[in-house]
Structure 1
Amino acid sequence: SHLSPTFLLPTRLTPAAHAALLAQLAAHNVPLTPTPSTASLFLADINTPTRCRFELRTRGIMTEPEPLLTAPLRVVKVAWFTECVKAGRVLPIEPWTVYTATVCAVVVTPGPSPERVRVKETVREKERKREREREKVQAEEEQRRGVMERARRDGVRNAEEDSRWRSERSEYKRSVYGTRVTDEIIKLSKSAGRGARPSTPEYEEERIKARGIDEMPEWVRRNVKLSCCRSTPADSPNADFIAHLHTIRDHRTLTSDEVGIRAYSTAIATLQAYPYPLISSSEIVLLPGCNVKIAALFHSWLSSHTDPKLRTVPDVEKLKLNENLVGLAMLHRIWGVGPETAREWWFVRGWRNVDDVVEYGWKGLTRVQQIGVKYYDDFQKPMMRWEAERIRDIITHHATLLLPGTTTILAGSYRRGSTSLTDADLLISHPDPTQLAPSFLERLVASLETEGCINYTLRLDRTAPPGRTLQTAMLVWQEQQYDDVRLRTLRLPGRNANVRRRVDLVVTRPETAGMALMRWTGGGTWVRDLKTWCAERGWRVGAEGVWERDGERVGGIDGGLRREGEGWEEAERRVFVGMGLEWRAPGERCTG
């Protein structure tokens, strides 16, 4: 053969397919080389130059792109070889060439012989594999027992500390407890280097007094940990530090660390509710839901720079630069892709971007994931408040045509006052329960589809699910373009350039409207804490009401829409009163 030394890359090939191709190449006298560093022609099932460069780099071959005519190294699709076999002759290689480059350096790593393919596992290898699995199970069991034992000891210690905390006078506990914990933080934290601000307990206590924070807010003094029992505004004087905690929580989400997600969500909600700028790490440990770990992170952030806008946490900066986490976050942003799916795509299937998902896995995606991939760029663009209001007005217009007297309200982050949204959550109801037929939502969606506002209907409850009264619809919204929006005439020719938006419709019975509005307004941590608050009283809460453990509805909770002119907010207020909670405006439920 007149071909250059050739190496077959195993990327995206099963062991059997790889072995079969090697046999075919050898049968046709292709000059195969066992080591990639000695090859100048690579055959691969790869379609992008970026991926080619990555695969070569992982094998110690550093390359730089170069024009086809002068490049000493080429990566060619495997399809070229199969087409040559079909044609019975060597076809021109250029149409199948994916990547051409020159070799900058070859990194030789010590280790076993070059890559080879195993067709079958030997009996000894299978025994070793089973032994490793048994050892892994034993290690996990020992780790689980260790975690449970530590949790038991921590529970006893925390109970003792809580008892001592409540028994001491407020002024005494602040000085003694704050000093002790601050000393521990200083030991845990690394030195910020030359020029770091002093952080002794005496200095921090002096700064607290200088700022006039002699007394904590009432919810701190009463140790109120649940966010549904306190005010949490959207704006916080500690937003710069909270942003770093958001990064850590996102990392915990991508790794499915449920304990970490809950712990950081609680700390974020607490700091978001705290009305004063934090100026010491000993101040943090006095806040409900914030532990020494959060205080140590704050100490690291506070010591990093004198300018708050330039402060960082070294561990957080490492997370931002981690290639795996950046890639997982990108895949996780696809609508319908959870953390586990993102990890499988990245680590198991080797998909590095949306193009890889389309090219290699499109047929295996769910319908929601296909829509999320198809309109990925649109869904990443924030929705402005006026867009949500326009969507609400159009849907309300169609709803009142079908059923006069229908009332709607935008919930979610819009109602909490966010300036940009990810989607629009619209609640729909009618004061007269006899008028709200089960088919109303289906007829409303059909009317909107006729108008041309809906691209896809991904979910539609034609009747309420068993045991529920709510009906939901999950839509992909794209308003048509018109020359005159007011008259809605003279549709513009050509492609519709309006951005596609995610819209969720929720039809609720009038008697459960207030409860549904509470559920769809609060942030994730706020709703979680509401469930915890109800569980402490032996209740079970949902978007349709509050029940006792035996399944009976809790009496005295009236969240229904009335005909006397009261609206959605009045119904929600009655739910707060019936549950024994203080009313919190939507802008006070921004737990982050």
Structure 2
Amino acid sequence: MAEDHMSSPQTLQGDSQRTESPSPQTLDLSQLPPIFVSATHFETSDLHMLEEDLVDCGATLTYDLGEAKVVLSKVQKKRRIAFDLRAKGLWTEEVTTTRSDVDVVREADGLPSKRRKLANAEAVAGQVGKSQAEAIIIDDESTASEAESAARQKPDTGIARRIKEGNGVRAPAVQTPPPTEPLVSVVDVTWFTESRKAGTPLPLHAFVTYQCRQVKPPPEEPSLKQTPTVSVNTRKPNESKTAAVIADKPGADILERANEDAEHAPKSFDRFGKRKFGYHMRSGGDASWAAGSGKPKEYAHLLHKTTTEDEQGYSSDLPEMPDWVKQGVKYACQRSTPGNSPNERFIDLLKKIKLARLLTNDEIGVRAYSTSIASLAAYPYKIVSPREIMALPGCDQKIANLFVEWANTGTIKAVEDVDADDDLKVLRLFWEIWGVGATTAREFYFDRGWRDLDDIVEFGWSTLTRVQQIGVKYYEEFLDPIPRAEVEEIGRIIHRHAVKVRDDGVQSLIVGGYRRGKQACGDVDMIVSHIDEGQTLNIVNDIVASLEEEGWITHTLLLSLNNSNRDQQTLPFRAEGGGHGFDSLDKALVVWQDPDWPTKDADLASNPKSKNPNIHRRVDIIISPWRTVGCAVTGWSGGTTFQRDLRRYAKHAHRWKFDSSGVRDRGNGEVVDVEGYYGYSGRIGSGRAKTMVEAEKRVFEGMGLVYREPSERCTG
């Protein structure tokens, strides 16, 4: 036992210990057909976790809904399921089969159905209600990401069916399609969680919520601006365009409503729900299909040597690849990513495509581009050949194709499409409102029909949250970057007030983009802690009250005491259920304004209601107990992809769950002391860390990682 303690950080009994479900390795899903996971109602981190768990169990994941045999979803209502499938590009109609119960059970277990005489099949079918076919899992709470062509394919094996016991009446007469026409079944996501608990795949038929087959989409798609609906200036607040058009058709069935929705789809979506810009293939093939054009875009091909290569002196003698490329290191937390990349111009173009994917609800595309961008940003040489890109972990032929196009033409057609897209301009306008994410931006535009900030104020002000109202009110001010000098001054003021409400033992550190070296930041993120853990309990309340008293805070938009309410313990590990997000520390999100200005006394003397002319800033104050302050600093100092890969690395390398409140073992739910807080004398040092940075370095060491300076974590 002593030797074990010397080789790994100490594991402590957590306050919320639980026993995890059987290890995913005990569940074998390799015999199931390709599975598609719908993003509806999933937090991003939970969706990623589910997909990784499925892969751990040997499942074949696909991001192409057209090839999926099983779709996992949280959605229960058939109409909503059909809508979600259509939003992902799959138009369907419900199908009721008349298969025998023996075939249903065999197919659900992954076995081929037996041939039976027609008379026997008809006799059994009379006792079978609705039975479900190939399963698709869709999440009920959000529309899924745009399907990304993917992945490996396996021969169809088991197909899930649902059997309803009962009255012996045959299901409604919908003819079963011929064997060559595939059926699709939507399966409740609880099938996977229950199968993990059982340690074996449960029959799918008991979890199927919707069985369907694909139908052709409507032949035409008028653009949004061609729709004869109520104009922006005359419609009622909160009135949906779609609702206005079909209000007189209360008896319309799901297909009629789907056709109506398609007629009013935004012009920048083709009839399959795909965007008209960018690539949709994960690797290989020509993915540059122009939506609705009927022919592929004329992009440069990857491995055809061009005259441009000769003219620019491209050489087959490429630079020696860095060690992380040779070793195929896929996690951004294992390599250095500086802020100034020699390939910054090309990366900036990819970031535009990534943002477009975010705004159009393509979570898969966002992750794919994020991974590629992080790899390109870590590459230390200026790229001169697509073969260099092909060698980088996380990059594939589609990125190399984009590079060739850019190198040969000086532009990328997909980026030009993004820049010229009117829908994306509006979506980005809304997305840049503080408190409005990509999903809400789409709701504002596509559901409510708003086109600008004036529409929001005129037609929907009362429907906004308080945070969103503040975001609209100070829209331009919040977009104005904060210089480093001003960030530092705000940090000094917060620290002074933290000491004032406690004592000189308070430590603070400005994190976020400032710590990574940005010359101007969108907001200020600051962590406050104290070596005496009792001093950080509920301190955020006192800091905010003190700052408000001096006039530095004009609005407190969020005051969270999640960590204090659980006695500042590490977030409990849960294998299933909703997540708490990456961060669950005590925090205050506030609007900041310098209360003093040069002519303040004169202005107030002439007009007691004179307004403060100073600009408003966004400031986040985060509180961490000293026991896990290293995790907090690490969690708030890296780029988005760096943080995502840090969590993935912790899971796959150690079976740990990492977040900014600490680390827990996924096997037993116990807290893992990676910072040596409890005096563990091993390879991470003796006793408690003296500074926040020292605690952060212990986190890297305890996780088996080389420490990276914040300036080396600029993955975007």
TM-score exceeds 0.5? yes
Counterpart selection for 1:543 from 660, 663, 672: 660
Alignment-mate amino acid for residue 663 of structure 2: V
Alignment-mate amino acid for residue 544 of structure 1: S
Post-superposition Cα deviations, 1:84-120, rounded to whole Å, max 9, x if no partner, equal xxxxxxxxxxxxxxxxxxxxxxxxxxxxxxxx98874
Counterpart selection for 1:473 from 588, 600, 608: 588
> Per the alignment, do residues 532 and 57 of structure 1 end up closer, same or farther by CA in structure 2, a change over 3 Å counting?
closer
> Per the alignment, do residues 198 and 427 of structure 1 end up closer, same or farther by CA in structure 2, a change over 3 Å counting?
same
Higher deviation after alignment, 331-340 or 235-244: 331-340
Specify the SS of the correspondent of 2:450: coil
Counterpart selection for 1:400 from 476, 499, 506: 499
1:281 and 2:386 aligned: yes
Deviation at 1:444, TM superposition (A): 1.2
Deviation at 1:398, TM superposition (A): 1.2
RMSD: 3.9
Aligned to 1:51: none
Specify the SS of the correspondent of 1:456: strand
On the 8 A contact 1:478/1:499 being kept in 2, the answer is yes
On the 8 A contact 2:370/2:641 being kept in 1, the answer is yes
Structure 2: state its 5+ residue gaps: 1-222, 236-243, 263-271, 273-279, 289-295, 569-584, 605-609, 680-685
- In 1, the alpha carbon distance for the partners of 2:596 and 2:360 equals 42
Specify the SS of the correspondent of 2:672: coil
- In 1, the alpha carbon distance for the partners of 2:712 and 2:425 equals 32
Aligned to 2:337: 232
1:223 and 2:328 aligned: yes
- In 1, the alpha carbon distance for the partners of 2:485 and 2:564 equals 33
Deviation at 1:338, TM superposition (A): 1.4
Higher deviation after alignment, 260-269 or 339-348: 339-348
Aligned to 1:524: 640
- In 1, the alpha carbon distance for the partners of 2:567 and 2:429 equals 35
Aligned to 1:496: 612
Post-superposition Cα deviations, 1:268-303, rounded to whole Å, max 9, x if no partner, equal 000000000000111110000000000000000000
> Per the alignment, do residues 190 and 563 of structure 1 end up closer, same or farther by CA in structure 2, a change over 3 Å counting?
closer
Post-superposition Cα deviations, 1:236-266, rounded to whole Å, max 9, x if no partner, equal 0000000110000000100111110000000
Counterpart selection for 1:348 from 409, 430, 447: 447
On the 8 A contact 2:589/2:620 being kept in 1, the answer is yes
Tell me: higher relative CO, structure 1 or 2? Use CA pairs within 8 A at least 6 residues apart: 2
- In 1, the alpha carbon distance for the partners of 2:333 and 2:632 equals 16
> Per the alignment, do residues 77 and 510 of structure 1 end up closer, same or farther by CA in structure 2, a change over 3 Å counting?
closer
On the 8 A contact 1:334/1:369 being kept in 2, the answer is yes
Q: How many residues align?
A: 430
Aligned to 1:270: 375
Counterpart selection for 1:190 from 292, 295, 299: 299
- In 2, the alpha carbon distance for the partners of 1:529 and 1:510 equals 24
Aligned to 1:112: none
Specify the SS of the correspondent of 1:521: coil
1:121 and 2:238 aligned: no
> Per the alignment, do residues 477 and 491 of structure 1 end up closer, same or farther by CA in structure 2, a change over 3 Å counting?
farther
Aligned to 1:34: none
Deviation at 1:348, TM superposition (A): 2.1
Aligned to 2:163: none
On the 8 A contact 1:408/1:427 being kept in 2, the answer is yes
Deviation at 1:396, TM superposition (A): 1.0
Q: Which has the larger radius of gyration?
A: 1
Post-superposition Cα deviations, 1:53-79, rounded to whole Å, max 9, x if no partner, equal xx998589xxxxxxxxxxxxxx99879
Written as runs of structure 1 = structure 2, the 5 A alignment for 1:147-546 is 190-191=299-300, 198=307, 207-209=315-317, 213-304=318-409, 311-404=410-503, 405-436=505-536, 438-462=537-561, 464=563, 466-467=565-566, 469=568, 470-483=585-598, 493=604, 494-536=610-652, 537-546=654-663
> Per the alignment, do residues 528 and 126 of structure 1 end up closer, same or farther by CA in structure 2, a change over 3 Å counting?
closer
Alignment-mate amino acid for residue 323 of structure 2: E
Specify the SS of the correspondent of 1:285: helix
Aligned to 1:48: none
On the 8 A contact 2:538/2:564 being kept in 1, the answer is no
On the 8 A contact 2:344/2:377 being kept in 1, the answer is yes
- In 2, the alpha carbon distance for the partners of 1:76 and 1:351 equals 7
On the 8 A contact 1:204/1:280 being kept in 2, the answer is no
Alignment-mate amino acid for residue 552 of structure 1: E
Deviation at 1:190, TM superposition (A): 3.0
Aligned to 1:12: none
> Per the alignment, do residues 350 and 183 of structure 1 end up closer, same or farther by CA in structure 2, a change over 3 Å counting?
closer
- In 2, the alpha carbon distance for the partners of 1:122 and 1:395 equals 57
TM-score with structure 2 setting the length: 0.55
Alignment-mate amino acid for residue 569 of structure 1: V
On the 8 A contact 1:188/1:296 being kept in 2, the answer is no
On the 8 A contact 2:630/2:675 being kept in 1, the answer is no
On the 8 A contact 1:334/1:376 being kept in 2, the answer is yes
Alignment-mate amino acid for residue 244 of structure 1: L
Aligned to 1:167: none
> Per the alignment, do residues 557 and 323 of structure 1 end up closer, same or farther by CA in structure 2, a change over 3 Å counting?
same
> Per the alignment, do residues 557 and 316 of structure 1 end up closer, same or farther by CA in structure 2, a change over 3 Å counting?
same
Specify the SS of the correspondent of 1:337: coil
Aligned to 2:204: none
Deviation at 1:459, TM superposition (A): 1.1
> Per the alignment, do residues 270 and 122 of structure 1 end up closer, same or farther by CA in structure 2, a change over 3 Å counting?
closer
Alignment-mate amino acid for residue 249 of structure 2: E
On the 8 A contact 2:372/2:395 being kept in 1, the answer is yes
Deviation at 1:217, TM superposition (A): 0.5
TM-score with structure 1 setting the length: 0.66
> Per the alignment, do residues 127 and 584 of structure 1 end up closer, same or farther by CA in structure 2, a change over 3 Å counting?
closer
Alignment-mate amino acid for residue 328 of structure 1: L
Deviation at 1:564, TM superposition (A): 8.8
> Per the alignment, do residues 397 and 288 of structure 1 end up closer, same or farther by CA in structure 2, a change over 3 Å counting?
same
1:552 and 2:667 aligned: no
| Identity within the alignment, % | 40
- In 2, the alpha carbon distance for the partners of 1:379 and 1:122 equals 44
Post-superposition Cα deviations, 1:314-369, rounded to whole Å, max 9, x if no partner, equal 22111111000111101110111111211121122221111110010000001111
Deviation at 1:381, TM superposition (A): 0.5
Deviation at 1:495, TM superposition (A): 2.0
> Per the alignment, do residues 183 and 425 of structure 1 end up closer, same or farther by CA in structure 2, a change over 3 Å counting?
closer
Deviation at 1:512, TM superposition (A): 1.0
Specify the SS of the correspondent of 2:534: coil
Specify the SS of the correspondent of 2:621: strand
On the 8 A contact 1:459/1:475 being kept in 2, the answer is yes
1:573 and 2:693 aligned: no
Aligned to 1:68: none
Specify the SS of the correspondent of 1:231: coil
Deviation at 1:481, TM superposition (A): 1.6
Specify the SS of the correspondent of 1:256: coil
Structure 1: state its 5+ residue gaps: 1-54, 61-74, 80-115, 136-142, 144-150, 159-180, 305-310
On the 8 A contact 1:474/1:504 being kept in 2, the answer is yes
Alignment-mate amino acid for residue 292 of structure 1: Q
On the 8 A contact 1:412/1:522 being kept in 2, the answer is yes
Deviation at 1:482, TM superposition (A): 3.9
Aligned to 2:198: none
> Per the alignment, do residues 491 and 233 of structure 1 end up closer, same or farther by CA in structure 2, a change over 3 Å counting?
farther
> Per the alignment, do residues 586 and 117 of structure 1 end up closer, same or farther by CA in structure 2, a change over 3 Å counting?
closer
- In 1, the alpha carbon distance for the partners of 2:699 and 2:602 equals 46
Deviation at 1:401, TM superposition (A): 1.4
Written as runs of structure 1 = structure 2, the 5 A alignment for 1:72-151 is 120-121=248-249, 125-126=252-253, 129=256
Specify the SS of the correspondent of 1:458: strand
On the 8 A contact 2:527/2:633 being kept in 1, the answer is yes
